[in-house]
Each structure stands twice: as C-alpha cells, then as structure tokens.
Amino acid sequence: MSLVLGVCVITTAAAHAATLRPAAPGKHARPAPSQSPQKPPRATLAAKPETVEVTAQRRDFSYPEAQHTPDASTRVTADRLLSRGIVTLRGLEYIAPNLTIQSINGTASTNFYLRGVGFNDFTQNNMGPVLTYFDDVPFIYSGMTDGMMFDMAGATVTPGPVGTKHGMSDTGGEVMLRTADPTDTWHAGAKQDIASYARSRSEAYVSGPLAKGLTFRLSGQTQQGGGWQTNPLNGDHLGDADLWALRGKLRYRPDSHTTITLSGHFTQDDSQVVTGIPIDRLIGTAALPKLAWQQAEWGMRPQFARLIGRPAGLKPGEHNQYWGADLNISHDFGPATLTSISAFNTERRGEYTDQDATAQSQADTYRDIDSNVFTQELRLSSSHSEDRLQWTVGAMYERSRMHQRFFFDYTDYVPARGYMMSTTFGLNQESTSEFGNISYRLPHNITLWAGLLHELDDRSISNLQSVIYGGSTRNFHGESTAANQFAGQIGISWQMTQNAMLYYKMSKGFKPGGFTANNTQLQAQLDPFKPETVLTYEVGFKSDPIPNRLRINGAAFYNDYHNQQILGTVLIPNYGPDSEITNAPKSESWGFEGTIEARPVERLFITQNFGWQRGTFQNFPTVNRAKTNAYYAAHGIWRAINDNFSGVDMGQPKLTLNGSAEWRQPLGHHYGLDFGPDWLYRGSQAMTPGGTGFYRLPPYFLLGAHVTFRPASSHWQATLYAQNILNRHYSESGGQATTVYMYIPGTPRFIGARLSCDF
C-alpha cells in the first residue's frame, strides 16, 4: 500500500484508492470544526474504530462521521477539489448549494452570498456576512486569501449564523479551508495543468521530518496565461494570470499531548483582470461599442497613469502582495484540550479597473490598499468525543488597520464631471468576543445543545479627503461606530437509527456595522451603517438509506432579518447616484437545500447538490436607481426618485444546481479510467433592489467533462478535461460605475490536460 498525499488518495495494487477513516495523524489536516456539538452515540462509535481501513474500492461517501453532526455543511475532499479544478474561492460555488461567489468588477476581490445572505462591498473595508478561514484563521477581508488555494486538504461550507464554538460571529456562515499538513515520512509531489489560451498552473510540495518530533511542509504554485479577451481597437490581449505563491509549515510535537504548528505564506499577484461589456448607456447619447462576447475595450490616459504612479498603457489588472504567519498551539490536559491560534496577515494592493467598459475615460479606477489584521483565539474544549457531555469555552481578539486611496478618471464624463479625483481615508477597527457551547447526549440518542457569544466591536474612519484635481479639496471629520451584541444557538437532534438523524436548531447571528467610503462628496455619506442581526430557524436530516449506495441530506431554513446590510443608492446633488451600504430595517428569506450521493450500479457515482431560496424586503426605503437614471436621461436634471422596496424580491438566484457523474472503469489489474460530466445551473439574479431588465443577470447552465487515467499502484494520474464545454455566453456579475451598465462575462470554453504525481 502507498499513500498519495498530494491528491488525498490511498491505493492498493488491486484497485483504486482506499480511504482513511478517520485520517491518520500527520497525513491529512483535521476536519473543520463543526458548528454543532452532535456526537455519534456510543454504539456508533464502537462500530467505527480509529483504524486505517484498506478496501478494494475508493470510498465515495466521504466524511462518514459528519453524518452524525446536525448541520447543513458541505464537506469536500482535496481529491474532489482537484478533480473539479477548483483553485480559487469562486470555484466553491460549483460544489456547494445556495452559494454564490462573485468577482468585484472582474478582480481578485470577491463577494459571498450564502443562502442569499451577503452584500456587495465594493470598497472592501468591511467584514463580510460570510467569513473565510484558512486553518482556523479568520480572514475578515476575503481579498487577503488571493492565491492561497493550493496544496489543499479539504474545504467546508457552513451556512447560517456561526461563532459559538470557534472564531468570530457572523450572520451568513463561513467557508473553512484546510491546507495539507507536514508528514512524519518523506513525501513530494507536483501538478502541471495546461489549457486553452496558454493557461498554465503549476504546483509542487515537499514534506517530511527534520528532527525528532519536528516535521515540515513547503509548497508553492504559479499561475500564468489564460487571458481570453481582446481589444478590437488595437488587438491587445487581456486577462493573463501572473501569480506565484509559497506556503511553509513547521510542526513540532514534543510529546504525545502537545502540537505546535508555525505557518507562513506569501503571494505576489500581477494578473490582469476581466473587463466588463457595456450593456446599456444610462447617461449621455454616445453609442456603445458593439463587442463580441470575448472582446473588451479599455484605455488609460497618460495623465492618469502619472497620477497613480503606474506605467502608461497599463492594462486592467492587479499589483498585489499578501503575506502572513500564524502560530497554532494545542495541548491535551486529559479532560480538556487548550488551543491557542495567533495570526498576522497583511495586504498591499494596487488594482486598476476600467469601470465604464469603453476606451473613454468615464470611470477608470485605481485602488491602493495597505492593511493588516491581527487575530488571537484561545479556546478550551472537552477532549473525549465519546462522553455524553461536550463543551467549549473561548475568547477571540481581532484588530485591523487599513489605509485606502481611490483614484478616478472622469475626464470624458462631461458635462457632469470632466475631471480626475481621489478619495483617501484610514480605518481602525478592534473587536473582542467571548463564546461558549455545551451539549449533552440523553438516552435514546437525543442530544441537546446551546451556545452563546458576546461581541464588542469598535471601528472608526479618519482623515478622509476628497480631491478634485484642478478643483476643490474637501476634508471630512472622522466618524466612529460601536456595537455590543449577543449571538447564540440552541438545538436538538435525534439519531433515529445508525444511518438516519433529524435535527432542529434556532440561531441568532450578529455582524457589526461599518462605513462606505467611495466618491465621498458629503459628510452624510460617512454616516455608519448599523449592525445586522438575523434569527435563523433550521430543520434538517441526514441519512444513508442504503449504506455506501445512497446518501440523502437536506435542510430547510427561515431567516428573520433586522437591519440587513445591503448596497443601496444615494443621490448626490450635481453629482449623480452613488452606491452606499445601508440597512434594510426588516427583511426575510427562506428556502431549502440538499445533497444526493448515489452509486446506482457498481461503477457509476453521482453527486447532485440543489438549493432553492426566496427572500423579500418587508421595509427598505431607498433611492430607486433605475428610475432616477431614467429621469435624468429624460430631463437632464438629477432628482432622487425615492421608493420603498417593501414586498420586493431580494434578487438572489432562486434555484441553484450543481453536480457530477463519474464512471470508473478498471483496465486490467493495474490501471483504471474515470470519466464523466459535471454541471452547474444558476437562476437569474437582480443586481440592484427590485432590478428588472438588464439590472437582472440572466440564468445560465454550464457543462464540463473529464477523463482521468491512473495506475492502481500509484503515484500519478493524467486528466483531460473541458470547462464550459458548450461555450455558453453568460454573465458572472454586473454593475454600474457612472455612465453605463455593464456585465462581467464568464469564461469561455477551456480544454486542458493535468498531470499530477506524488511520492
């Protein structure tokens, strides 16, 4: 038997990979912490000894222990991340239900929507409703995770309020990512992926012992090429990746009770970005360029290049640098385990986007961000999972510092503006929280649990200055906001049989307020938006009606929101409509989601995720951007058309589907061939409250396929794959900067080959 760590596969000479149940220490990262304390009953635990199980076939129903955990989390192995080609956060929406992750104007920055919970933070200076974690470290600014999804051990997507067992409170949920750990024996591996448009992705790692009790792992990746947009005006090419990243881990085990892990990472990203396609001219009468789906126009004036200190002829793209380190110390005292996680992360970002989607300079934007985040978590948990009583207590401290500069070129936006301008500001933020969770297993396999969290958050914005070059300079006084809130969770679960469980839980989530700082012209634009709270009711089930043949999991939910944070609109006199994060006083959403995994015949394996959701505003007064733009187009005067979106749909895709099918064909005793399709469907999405027409993204369906050849003994595998095999034209997101409404187009057909080997 040989262990193939890079792709999380164990193989025997007789067949495909076998699996670990559970993972052997030091071979794979431990599973993500659960948001609920359910444990298998003693009888179940006795039936699942902590041994390595070697079988003649790959175990397709992964994470069997999670079938006894009352949650709606989607857990994904490293092997599945590899087979689906998921190398960025945005790729996770291909494997989880009710999840939307969208690029901000085609850049590396992302917005999350989980069960419809999320908001468009185009300034990227606020905590999102869905938090991203790498190895238990929270990244409150998701852009800081750029380039980190390589050498992975697995991923977990958890919807709903979180924070009573680890980390920070949030309203939408969390994405927990695990990177591969150091190993006690020597291993090394590499992957090479080459595809259409000269796209290349390379990855390698080496891992092993350095001294008694001391192991290490060093891994890295590069991404190059892949640009598929061209400029019809001059034939320029756009969209090539240019990224490299490194990660190192040292793990020291001085004794059997103590583990100390020091990790560090570095990313340099100079990739070009996808530029939008103009859909409709909102202001002015100039004709929009007629572009094919893989074409885009952009342009930078030399004067703007000098202002931002970048070279003339700069293409839309990133110039980003991220680095960080974390120290994880765990000690088992016997009855309890103490864990300390300290982390420091920084970003230095320079990002140029052409937000008018034309060769004119009507909304050329450059963003410069310097920020750092320090987090410290300390938690004490019960050590023995078989005990009826399980508990966790802990505390979290988080501090961030940020300085941003936005530069805008509105020279061709006449007569309304016709100038270049900049906005600069500083942001200081600090929060502390205390949390606890307790569960108890009653007779008849009924478990009760409850959790509580208290959080104090303070943040302030300062030194905001807005400069119109050749015109006025405005200085604004600082603003601050504080929140002092409780969150929590209670629930009950019933393990009806060894293979079936029901649960119900009620959770309250909390997320602090913040600021919108962009194109600031009035002091009132700096008024902070309020904290967001949600009361979530969830009922679900997990079942393996035919063990190792059929698994069906599902959950239904209802969210009752107060002061939901959402991107609204304000009208600035003699300036125009501007985006501003605000609060919808009352709103609600509901829906359901589920996963079906099936092996109807011996060699066919099917996975299908489905999600359905609806949401409406019950009270949301704001400026109606569509009507306000229409009034200006008709009369040439800015007049705010106010509206209340009570009863209006929130706009998130109602139906999402994703899945895959694979046929695994042995080729004699020594080789195997895996092949099959994968698919994704996403319903239409309103990009503004009450959006219709071009303000709503059309639905789309994407189809992919792969063929993988692998030896049964094996240290390597070769794959041919196709993404968007039907070459569908679809829009990933959309938005408005000034004069036009644009769509960010999705990627065309990519055909590629991937070779990976591990020793």
Could you please report the per-residue DSSP string of 28-47? SPPPPPPSS-----HHHHHT
Residue 738 in this model has a pLDDT that exceeds 80: no
Instruction: For residues 534-556, give the mean pLDDT.
Output: 97
So what's the pLDDT on residue 218? 98
Encode 646-685: b = buried (16+ Cβ within 10 Å), e = exposed.
eebbbbbbbebbbbbbbebeeeeeeebebbbebbbbbbeb
| Cα–Cα distance list, 58 to 16, 79, 447, 585, 644 (Å) | 6, 11, 32, 50, 55
Residue 756 in this model has a pLDDT that exceeds 50: yes
Distance CA 40, CA 751 (A): 44
The answer to whether 597 and 566 have CB atoms below 8 angstroms apart is: no
Instruction: For residues 240-258, give the mean pLDDT.
Output: 97
Beta strands in 364-409 (DSSP E): 364-382, 389-409
Instruction: For residues 556-584, give the mean pLDDT.
Output: 86
Distance CA 295, CA 613 (A): 34
Residue 424 in this model has a pLDDT that exceeds 80: yes
So what's the pLDDT on residue 59? 54
> Using one digit for the tens of pLDDT, what is the confidence trace for 141-193?
888 999 999 999 999 999 999 999 999 999 999 999 999 999 999 999 999 99
Distance CA 186, CA 167 (A): 33
**Lowest mean pLDDT segment, chosen from 171-185, 299-313, 627-641:** 627-641
More confident residue, 736 or 233: 233
**Lowest mean pLDDT segment, chosen from 187-191, 519-523, 662-666:** 519-523
**Lowest mean pLDDT segment, chosen from 3-7, 192-196, 559-563:** 3-7
List residues bridging with 404 in a β-sheet: 369, 425
* Coil, strand or helix at 234: coil
Residue owning tokens 């927990």: 176
Using alpha carbons, select from 285, 287, 569, 277 the residue that is nearest to residue 415.
285
So what's the pLDDT on residue 43? 37
So what's the pLDDT on residue 715? 87
Instruction: For residues 577-586, give the mean pLDDT.
Output: 86
The answer to whether 198 and 183 have CB atoms below 8 angstroms apart is: no
User: Encoding tokens for residue 120?
Assistant: 């468009």
So what's the pLDDT on residue 580? 82
Distance CA 34, CA 45 (A): 17
> Using one digit for the tens of pLDDT, what is the confidence trace for 4-32?
333 333 333 333 333 333 333 333 443 44
pTM assigned to the model: 0.88
More confident residue, 624 or 420: 420
Residue 48 in this model has a pLDDT that exceeds 70: no
So what's the pLDDT on residue 148? 95
So what's the pLDDT on residue 639? 86
Whether the link from the prior residue into 415 is cis, omega within 30° of 0, is yes
**Lowest mean pLDDT segment, chosen from 365-379, 401-415, 630-644:** 630-644
> Using one digit for the tens of pLDDT, what is the confidence trace for 326-385?
999 999 999 999 999 999 999 999 999 998 899 999 999 999 999 999 999 999 999 998
List residues bridging with 584 in a β-sheet: 564
| Cα–Cα distance list, 406 to 165, 425, 566, 705 (Å) | 38, 9, 21, 42
Tell me the one-letter amino acid at 663.
W
**Lowest mean pLDDT segment, chosen from 20-34, 56-70, 723-737:** 20-34
In percent, the amount of the chain with pLDDT more than 70 equals: 92
Q: How confident is residue 55, by pLDDT bands cut at 50, 70 and 90?
A: very low
Residue 464 in this model has a pLDDT that exceeds 50: yes
Question: In the chain, what are the domains?
Answer: 2-758 (2.40.170.20)
The answer to whether 730 and 274 have CB atoms below 8 angstroms apart is: no
Residue 468 in this model has a pLDDT that exceeds 60: yes
Distance CA 177, CA 75 (A): 10
Residue owning tokens 């948001």: 35
Average pLDDT, whole number, for the chain? 89
